[in-house]
Homo-oligomer: A and B are copies of this chain.
Amino acid sequence: MKQVKSYTSKDFATDQEVRWCPGCGDYGILKQVRDLMPELGLEREKTVFISGIGCSSRFPYYMNTYGLHSIHGRATSLATGLKMTRSDLSVWIITGDGDGMSIGGNHLIHLLRRNPNVNILLFNNEIYGLTKGQFSPTSEQGKQTRSSPWGTVDHPFNLSALALGADASFFARTVDRESKHLRETLRQAHEHKGASLVEIYQNCNVFNDGTFSAFTDKERKQQNTLHLEEGSPLRFGDPEKPVVLTWKNGAVGAEEMGASDPGSHWIHDPYDRAKAQALSRLSDDMTYPRPFGVLYREERAVYEDLLAEQQKVIAPKRTADDLDALISGDAFWQVGQ
């Protein structure tokens, strides 16, 4: 067996100058991904980054692996074809809120239901960056952009809810600024067998600066974010005096941590679909904080495994003879001798 090379983060950098706007949240994500690759023991030649079109989709140019910068919205379907034929590769999809949810929404949900073992990093900046600032399907209603000077009237998608509705087997949320959380979340995505969708809140400091500041500002984030950890209670707010969420009769509540009976605490179980659905809607009306981390995961058969199993059953090794049998069919005849 060939020895596995040991790479460093630098080995995953290319010689191409990184061309995002100075201050763009994409830089931080790139750094974490580069750092993560050797940690996961991934080999450059066995790793593929596939993207669509958008600022975020430039990502593959900066990863010294195999890479495909494709067309708008189709990274998911390209990856499906690749993974079906090359289950040995580690496939990473990079997409944006426009690329993945607007033009590419259909391929995304179909990928999720099929569940190939890929990782999808959806850079959600709630804007179209590359085309210079139009609203996206995640932009909040009323947002004024170049294409909505009077404010959008579109009700945005809730990506976590959409993904769960499309039978995603893994959904997590993280944010560009929290490098450790980001890396750990991506690690879990990688470890999950099946399609892992990670929504990464990413600051576009040119066209949508500060959209996520409620979740990244030192002062505000404690109140506004809920860090999900498997087996731990869902708490937020002042660490000295945290508030804890409760889950009673399918309804969400909140209590002061000390004051409440630990038996009623909502303990995070990412395998519980009903709770994950509740988590996905938790902050829709902003009364509760936004959950970060793995909202949901489930073990479900992986697409390429199912294909391989089927192939094993039906295809005893083919030989040249088989090909001739295919060509001739079973109703042929001879003319002359």
Partner-B contacts on A (CB < 8 A):
102-106, 109-110, 113-115, 137, 150-151, 153-158, 161-167, 247-251, 273-275, 277-278, 281, 300-301, 303, 306-307, 310, 313-314
Contacts and interface: CB of A to CB of B under 8 A. Distances in A.
A224 B243 CA distance: 43
A102 B167 CA distance: 15
Given A157-B166, A247-B250, A300-B155, A314 B277 contact: no
Contacts of A251: 250, 274
Given A106-B106, A153-B303, A161-B166, 8 more contacts: A105-B109, A105-B110, A113-B156, A153-B306, A154-B303, A157-B166, A250-B250, A274-B281
B303 A274 contact: no
B310 A150 contact: yes
A157 B113 contact: yes
A184 B29 CA distance: 52
A155 B156 CA distance: 27
Contact of A274 (B110, B278, B313, B314): B278
23 contacts: A104-B106, A105-B109, A109-B109, A109-B157, A110-B137, A113-B155, A113-B156, A114-B155, A115-B155, A153-B306, A153-B310, A154-B303, A155-B300, A161-B165, A161-B167, A162-B165, A247-B250, A248-B249, A250-B251, A250-B274, A251-B274, A273-B281, A274-B278
